[in-house]
Amino acid sequence: MARKNGAYTVIDLFAGCGGLSLGLYQAGWNGVFAIEKNPCAYATLCHNLIEKKHHFKWPKWLPQKPLDILEVNEIYAEQLKGLRGTIDLVAGGPPCQGFSMAGRRIENDIRNQLVFAYIDFISMVMPKMLLFENVKGFTYAFDKRKNPNALPYSTLVIKKLKELGYDVCPLVIDFSDYGVPQRRKRFILVGVLNGKSGEAENFEKKLKANRERFFKRYKIPEHPTIADAISDLLRSNGEVETPDRKGFHSGLYAKTSNGYQVLMRHNIDNIIPQSHSFAHHCEEKIKCFERLLIEYPVRNKRISGTEREKWGIHQRGLTILDAQSIAPTITNMPDDYLHYQEPRIMTVRECARIQSFPDWFEFKSKYTTGGQMRKKEVPRYSQVGNAIPPLFAQQAGLVLKEML
């Protein structure tokens, strides 16, 4: 395939705030455009990767705004077919909430149908390669007791892609194996158009083979701990008024103490980390948190059920983080985790660090939301929790370039 200046081209579908696009940008890929429907997530993607980094070329025929893939497929079908032969990679996976084992698995969640919109898009553009991501629950069928013949969505996607001519390799990957300080297992599918049988399997082999070299290059530990990720962001460093959140306070930076922090803070000269605003906790909650930090014997394990009531925890559950371990999966619920040292929940920036977003990456829109607005809004905490860790995406991007 002829390349202008050796550029590799990628389209990001269901892009969210841009975790996958960011990693691919850092791996040297050139974005063509991204599709993200939610205005909150798109605002963050746009600010960082369109306006600041000019990652996307963006075709003139496609509006540069939040886009719905169903409408794009319908309105711009001819233009998408016109891209055939020019796109090296289509990356991204449909929203995963309906498949997630962490929440309620909802078989008729309308978002699950976006899988078929993804297939339609691929059938029009026919990129050289695919990188598809979803939650591990994507590989499980819905309610096998009611319908013994039910197939997982992953099986349906693999079948359709094979029919289109892709050699595919389905994997379940734990991102903690790739320098991300959290246990986060995800379904990853790599596809190679007209590839020989087994060609897609080279992805995982190369990914593992490149790890050590990647860690050495960026001087990061193989398994950074929670403290490695965020110990320079303690509230005890001092605080000031949050620049973009009236009535709240943000923490200040301390000195870096390890390679992971140095990497996250590369080219940062501010004293106030962006999106490092502390939640307001009532006195009762602070006392509960203080008691848990002193007396509760277990870390990194969710406190729920009667145990939760015994300790005076009013929310659905709580996990006290362990400074010297990697984190559990970061979710889009800010109240899920108690800081390992201070009586408070995590800030957006701390969650972003654990997701491997560098500090120059600025999150936009509301910090959090609640009630019925959860169905419409994707605030900063949710943007972080829904993202693919950029550090993994960068390593994946390097391997995909090598395969091409």
Is the same domain home to 208 and 265? no
Strand partners, 172: 187
Residue 285 lies in a domain: yes
**Which region among 98-107, 151-160, 332-341 has the lowest average model confidence (pLDDT)?**
98-107
Which class for 152: exposed (0-12), middle (13-18), buried (19 or more C-beta within 10 A)?
middle
Check which CATH number belongs to the domain holding 99 and give it.
3.40.50.150
- What DSSP string describes 111-130? GGGHHHHHHHHHHHH--SEE
Residue 30 lies in a domain: yes
Over residues 63-68, mean pLDDT: 97
Is the same domain home to 175 and 233? no
More confident residue, 93 or 33: 33
**pLDDT tens digits for range 125-159:** 999 999 999 877 766 554 555 555 566 778 888 99
Residue 374 lies in a domain: no
Is the same domain home to 308 and 174? no
Is the same domain home to 77 and 203? yes
Is pLDDT of 206 > 90? yes
169 is catalytic: no
The three state secondary structure string of 48-66 is HHHHHCCCECCCCCCCCCC
Is the same domain home to 195 and 87? yes
**pLDDT tens digits for range 234-285:** 999 999 999 999 999 999 999 999 999 999 999 999 999 999 999 999 999 9
Is the same domain home to 282 and 180? no
Domain that holds residue 187: 4-216+389-403
Choose the catalytic residue: 96, 169, 288, 351: 96
Is pLDDT of 112 > 60? no
Residues 164, 126 contacting (CB under 8 angstroms): yes
Give the pLDDT score at 155.
85
Is the same domain home to 182 and 34? yes
Residue 380 lies in a domain: no
Over residues 25-36, mean pLDDT: 98
Check which CATH number belongs to the domain holding 357 and give it.
3.90.120.10
Is the same domain home to 245 and 140? no
CB atoms within 10 A of CB 165: 12
Is pLDDT of 218 > 60? yes
pTM of this prediction? 0.92
Residue 312 lies in a domain: yes
Identify the sign of the CA torsion 213, 331, 185, 42: negative
Q: Look over the chain and give the mean of its residue pLDDT values, rounded to a whole number.
A: 91
What are the tokens at 323?
Answer: 């400074």
Is the same domain home to 202 and 231? no
Cα separation, 65 vs 98, whole angstroms: 26
Over residues 19-32, mean pLDDT: 98
Residue 376 lies in a domain: no
Is the same domain home to 121 and 146? yes
Residue 264 lies in a domain: yes
More confident residue, 109 or 395: 395
Is pLDDT of 96 > 60? no
Residue 379 lies in a domain: no
Is the same domain home to 236 and 205? no
Over residues 163-175, mean pLDDT: 94
Is the same domain home to 187 and 295? no
Q: Sorting pLDDT into bands at 50, 70 and 90, what band is 369?
A: confident
Give the pLDDT score at 262.
98
Give the pLDDT score at 289.
97
Q: How many domains does the chain have?
A: 2
Residues 44, 360 contacting (CB under 8 angstroms): no
